[in-house]
Amino acid sequence: DCKIIISGDKHLRSLKKYIDIKILSPREFIDNMM
């Protein structure tokens, strides 16, 4: 069970990062990459 929760948490975290990046405007995205 622990492994499933951890892998799920990792997946959600990467998904959240992806969503946050998509929401950012291009300029904000570039600023964050530097």
Give the tens place of pLDDT for each residue, 1-34: 556 555 667 777 777 776 666 666 677 767 767 6
Q: Where do the structural domains in the chain lie, given as residue ranges?
A: 2-33
Exposure b/e, 1-19, CB count within 10 A at least 16 = b: eeeeeeeeeeeeeeeeeee
pLDDT at 6: 58
pTM for this entry: 0.30
The predicted pLDDT at position 7 comes to: 64
